[in-house]
């Protein structure tokens, strides 16, 4: 049973070469070809290819087309076949639902393998480049988790904002209607959470890490009942 494939690329010679080359593969059936993002959407709607191979640098909004196909036509697997070796771009389209990212300059067998791999429900990224993409994604995930762990509670946000104004522990306690002992406790928690050693570094870390959401100073906290 052959895999239905469509190619979209704005370079006529390359496009014809892809169609000619892969039409000779017994396990592939080339059902359509196009030259831009609009063509890609029309092809998917009309021919429902099992694998869509498209370039990023073609006329129209290729990224938007990818996002729409991934959301609306889930039976079509998408392979980006491009000269764009930006790791950020690769991560972006993979997050949008692309199943394959193949760099131009790869061998014909690599693209053929990519088509078969994504058809089987797996992900294919050009060897070598894949390692960089995976490492970047892991780093981003570690950073995201670290930011989540450093997220401040409402009371911690309030104390940090008072620190930014230069308030003393006594002034903070009076303003928030809590004890100085409680303020010191929060200071210890903040230093541990932000991995710093003193109140000045708490402020610097909060600014650097951008852990204070917009408008948090306007949020009110429960007041202690005497």
- Give, for all 226 residues of the chain, the pLDDT tens digit: 899 999 999 999 999 999 999 998 999 999 999 999 999 999 999 999 999 999 999 999 999 999 999 999 999 999 999 999 889 999 889 989 999 999 998 999 999 999 999 999 999 999 888 888 888 777 666 566 555 456 788 898 899 999 999 999 999 999 999 999 999 999 998 888 888 888 888 888 888 766 665 544 434 344 443 3
Q: Do 93 and 133 contact (CB within 8 A), yes or no?
A: no
Q: Which residues partner with 53 through β-bridges?
A: 7, 79
How far is the C-alpha of 102 from the C-alpha of 184, rounded, in Å?
55
- CB count in 10 Å sphere of residue 135: 11
pTM of structure:
0.63
């Amino acid at each position: 049973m052959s895999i239905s494939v469509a190619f979209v690329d704005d370079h006529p010679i390359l496009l014809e070469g892809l169609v000619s080359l892969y039409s000779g593969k017994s396990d592939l059936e080339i059902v359509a070809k196009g030259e831009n993002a609009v063509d890609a959407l029309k092809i998917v709607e009309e021919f429902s290819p099992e694998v869509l191979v498209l370039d990023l640098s073609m006329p129209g909004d290729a990224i938007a087309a990818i996002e729409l196909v991934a959301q609306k036509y889930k039976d079509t697997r998408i392979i980006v076949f491009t000269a764009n070796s930006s790791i950020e771009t690769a991560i972006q389209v993979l997050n949008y639902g692309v199943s394959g990212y193949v760099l131009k300059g790869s061998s014909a067998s690599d693209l053929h393998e990519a088509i078969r791999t994504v058809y089987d429900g797996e992900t294919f990224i050009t060897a070598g480049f894949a390692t960089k993409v995976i490492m970047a994604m892991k780093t981003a995930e570690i950073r995201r988790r670290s930011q989540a762990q450093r997220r401040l509670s409402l009371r911690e946000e309030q104390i940090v904002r008072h620190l930014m104004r230069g308030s003393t522990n006594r002034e903070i306690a009076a303003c928030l209607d809590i004890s100085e002992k409680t303020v010191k406790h929060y200071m210890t928690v903040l230093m541990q959470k932000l991995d710093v050693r003193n109140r000045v570094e708490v402020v610097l870390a909060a600014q650097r890490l951008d852990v204070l959401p917009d408008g948090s100073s306007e949020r009110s906290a429960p007041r202690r009942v005497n």
